[in-house]
Amino acid sequence: MRHRSRLGLIAGAWLAAGPAVAGPEFAGSYDWHRTDRGFGGFSAIEVDASGKGFVALTDRGNYVSGRLIRDAAGRVTDIEAGPVAALRGKGTEPLAAGRRDSEGLAIAPDGRVCVSFEDPARVLCYESLGAGARNLPSPREFAGLPANRQLEALAVDGDGTLYALPEQTSSRAGAFPVWRYRGGKWDMPLALTRDGDFLPVAADVGPDGALYVLERDFAGLKGMRSRIRRLDLHRRGTQTGEILLLTGYMTHGNLEGLSVWRDGAGRLRATMIADDGFQFFLSTQIVEYRLDG
On the question of pLDDT at 133 being above 70, the answer is: yes
Residue 285 has pLDDT above 80, yes or no: yes
Beta bridge partners of 63: 57, 85
Q: Count CA atoms closer than 13 A to 28's CA, side-chain side.
A: 14
CATH of domain 2-290: 2.120.10
Q: Which comes out higher in pLDDT, residue 37 or 125? A: 125
Tell me how many degrees the CA angle 161-217-277 measures, rounded to the nearest 5. 80
Instruction: Give me the mean pLDDT over the 194-204 stretch.
Output: 95
State pLDDT tens for residues 138-193: 999 998 888 878 999 999 999 999 999 999 887 777 899 999 999 999 999 999 99
Q: Which pTM was predicted?
A: 0.90
Closest by Cα among 81, 73, 179 to 123: 179
The pLDDT of residue 134 is above 60: yes
Lowest mean pLDDT among 163-177, 209-223, 267-281: 163-177
Q: How is the chain split into domains, by residue range?
A: 2-290
Question: Is the bond into 120 cis (omega within 30 degrees of 0)?
Answer: yes
